[in-house]
Amino acid sequence: MAGRGRTSWDAWLVGGTAAVAGLLALHSAVPNGVGRLGSLLETFLPWLGLAVPLLACVAALGRSVPGLLACPAPALVWLWMFGGMWFSSSPGPHDLTVVQHNVADDNADPAGTARALLATRAGLIAVEELTPAARPAYQGVLGASHPHRVVHGTVGLWSAYPLSDVRPVDIRPEGFPESWRRGLRATVSAPGGRVAVYVVHLPSVRLGPTGLTSAARDESATLLGTRIAADPAGRLLVVGDLNGTVQDRGLGPLTSRLHAPPRGFAFSWPADLPVARIDQVLGRGVEVTEVTALEATGSDHLPVLGRVRLR
């Protein structure tokens, strides 16, 4: 390769690796005003790490020493941000398990899905997109082992432990009908102590020609975050389909008040090829030590299992 061409090639590779490192470390600086590009980037942020081996291969094939020398920088940034999810120590003991699943309102086998959730032996089973027609199937499978139940609209909670202080949670964005009911709260008397549990399903997000349409979801997250801030419970869990990752700034008014598990990517959507975890188990005053994605059911989401230590 000619000298000038070589210099240009090296510059492009070094610039590419610097751009990847910058997007990882400074993702919050990407503006959200146009098409919510910042939220879009943050939804798939861990996957940006795949650019590193790609750039390294290109640099090796092109015999670019500067390009190869530049590759460790974005790799180290990725490890700093996400390495703990792979390399963290064993989560240790836990007091409570909760399985969370968007069961899909078009699920053709609700009883089979309920059996899969029951097989997890979780003390708490939270579901979204629960239809009136499917409700008897879930109750028929879960009712014996999880006799304590609350359903509000399309969200439900089956519990092996007694429930009290049960109430609906209104997270409707402006303009949504009163029939849109996707939030509930209950106090669970678990063996390790009482914990307030929210089961929620935030509005859907769509990707179109103008970018990400997430205004309704962001508004709902703000409403829920305000409710969480005012909740006096010392121990609190939020489980549900948030239609966003914990890195997505659109969920910031909610996720900034909660702690995410330090271990496990647990990509949950779409079920056929999971690329993002939008189904969450988050805590305040408790420690969610790990979250794990489970095998597919009849839904377009995977269930996720959270292990919780009650402090």
196-244 pLDDT, tens per residue?
999 999 999 987 777 778 999 999 999 999 999 999 999 999 999 999 9
- Strand-pair partners of 11: none
96-309 homologous superfamily: Endonuclease/exonuclease/phosphatase (3.60.10.10)
Confidence of residue 5 (pLDDT cuts 50, 70, 90): low
pLDDT for residue 34:
78
Q: Return the HEC string of 222-286.
A: HHHHHHHHHCCCCCEEEEEECCCCCCCHHHHHHHCCCECCCCCCCCCECCCCCCECCEEEEEECE
Terminal alpha carbon distance of the chain: 62
Cα distances (angstroms) measured from residue 10 to each of 5, 21, 86: 9, 17, 32
Q: Are 108 and 142 in contact (CB under 8 A)?
A: no
Cα distances (angstroms) measured from residue 155 to each of 47, 198, 303: 31, 10, 15
pLDDT for residue 213:
86
pLDDT for residue 89:
59
Cα 156 from Cα 311, distance rounded (Å)? 26
Structure tokens given for 3 = 């000298």
Instruction: Count CA within 13 A, CB hemisphere, residue 167.
Output: 8
DSSP secondary structure letters along 68-127: HHHTHHHHHHHHHHHHHHHHPPP----SEEEEEEE--TT-S-HHHHHHHHHTTT-SEEEE
Confidence of residue 83 (pLDDT cuts 50, 70, 90): confident
Which amino acid, one-letter code, is at 177? P
Q: Is 14 a residue whose pLDDT tops 80? A: yes
pLDDT for residue 97:
97
Structure tokens given for 276 = 């993002």
Averaged pLDDT score across all residues of the chain: 93
Mean pLDDT of 139-143: 98
pLDDT for residue 2:
52
pLDDT for residue 156:
98
pLDDT for residue 287:
95
In percent, how much of the chain has pLDDT > 70? 96
Q: Are 244 and 36 in contact (CB under 8 A)?
A: no
pLDDT for residue 4:
58
pLDDT for residue 254:
98
Task: Locate CATH 3.60.10.10 in the chain.
Answer: 96-309
| 43 backbone dihedrals φ, ψ, rounded to 5° | -65, -35
Q: Is 1 a residue whose pLDDT tops 80? A: no
pLDDT for residue 3:
54
260-302 pLDDT, tens per residue?
988 889 999 999 999 999 999 999 999 999 999 999 999 999 9
Q: Is 91 a residue whose pLDDT tops 80? A: no
Mean pLDDT of 173-188: 97
Cα 52 from Cα 46, distance rounded (Å)? 12
- Strand-pair partners of 185: 167, 198
In percent, how much of the chain has pLDDT > 90? 80
